[in-house]
Amino acid sequence: MLNQYETVFIMTPVLSDDQMKETVKKFENILTSNGAELVHEEDWGLRKFEYPIQKKSSGFYHLFEFKAEGPVVKELELQYRRDERVLRYLTVAMDKHAVAYSEKRRNLKKEPKAE
């Protein structure tokens, strides 16, 4: 039985666009090579922090939603800790209500707004 997880990580703002995409691709490859199924991915872009993290006032946010077994999450978080480009990360297991909310939110984004 695969659990559904959501992980958000923040990358240092000094990265170029190519370096940021390379970092995201690295973590995507870690997930897929460990048997995880990517459900959704979002780039939230550069955002300002409420308080400084490692003397930085902003960072690039990225979200992955995936289905996997528990050991995959441990491996992913180990790689987050090892990568100096990642300032913070948070991975949560989603219950059925969170999964339903996430699907609803994604579907609302896809629908064109009526004018």
Domain assignment of residue 12, yes or no: yes
Containing structural domain, residue 59:
3-110
Domain assignment of residue 115, yes or no: no
Asked if 7 and 90 count as a contact pair (C-beta separation under 8 A), the reply is yes
For residue 8, the model assigns a pLDDT of: 93
Mean pLDDT over 79-87 rounds to: 92
We report the CATH number of the domain holding residue 76 as: 3.30.70.60
3-class SS shares of the chain: helix, strand, coil, % to 5: 40, 40, 20
Domain assignment of residue 19, yes or no: yes
One-letter amino acid at 67 equals K
Query: For 31-76, how does the pLDDT look when each residue is reduced to its tens digit (9 = 90+)?
Result: 999 888 998 899 999 999 999 988 999 999 999 999 988 888 999 9
Task: Give the distance, in angstroms, between the CA of residue 88 and the centroid of all CA atoms in the same chain.
Answer: 11
**Tokens 């699907």 label which residue?**
103
Q: How many domains does the chain have?
A: 1
